[in-house]
Amino acid sequence: MAVREPDAIALLKQDHREVEDLFEQYEKAKADGRKSKIAEQICSALIAHTMIEEEIFYPAVRGKIEEDTVDEAYVEHDGAKMLIQELMNGSPEDDFYDAKMTVLSEEIKHHVHEEEARSEGMFAQARQAGVDVAELGQQMRQRKQELLAQFKAGGLPQPKTTTFGQMSASAGGVAVPAE
């Protein structure tokens, strides 16, 4: 008998619990060194998570669930990526660093709710629409392993926004006023 692997929804929920736990650890941490280690784990987990959702899960549910739900999820990710980039390029001794982390955790909490909410949430809609979450789970698990190995070998990539035209979280995308 085949071992039952977590489906796409179970996998994404695991990611959500993992990152919630990391935010809690950050809140309790006192030393800057410890904070910076946890911040790196948070950024890595969120970058991998947003990538597997945007590469695999969102395209698979697009057209099968409410359009607004999918569109808003992309924009929420992009908002989070701006803060992730700030955190990656800063350090816990910087002014506003802890505040940025707190605001990021609040944004993620909202986003997780939108995905996990009973009956109206993205995951519930996907199940109702009969999306093949078992097959997607397999693809996403593979991609996640690949990404985490890449991050380990080559460092964390700067997150790229998908929907923002004026401001981009990719390197060099933010306009700096001329002197």
Interface residues with Fe ion (CB under 5 A)? 53
* Closest distance to Fe ion from the beta carbon of 85 (Å): 17
Rounded CA separation 71/24 (Å):
29
How far apart are the two ends of the chain, measured CA to CA in Å? 68
Largest CA distance in the chain: 68
Q: Tell me, what DSSP letter sits at residue 5?
A: -
Q: What is the length of the chain?
A: 179
* Closest distance to Fe ion from the beta carbon of 1 (Å): 32
- Select 61 or 101, whichever has its Cβ closest to Fe ion: 61
| 93 phi/psi in degrees, rounded to 5 | -80, -10
- Select 35 or 82, whichever has its Cβ closest to Fe ion: 82
- Select 35 or 60, whichever has its Cβ closest to Fe ion: 60
* Closest distance to Fe ion from the beta carbon of 165 (Å): 21
CB neighbour list of residue 15: distance below 8 Å, 6 or more residues apart: 45, 48, 49
* Closest distance to Fe ion from the beta carbon of 17 (Å): 13
- Select 38 or 140, whichever has its Cβ closest to Fe ion: 140
CB neighbour list of residue 120: distance below 8 Å, 6 or more residues apart: none
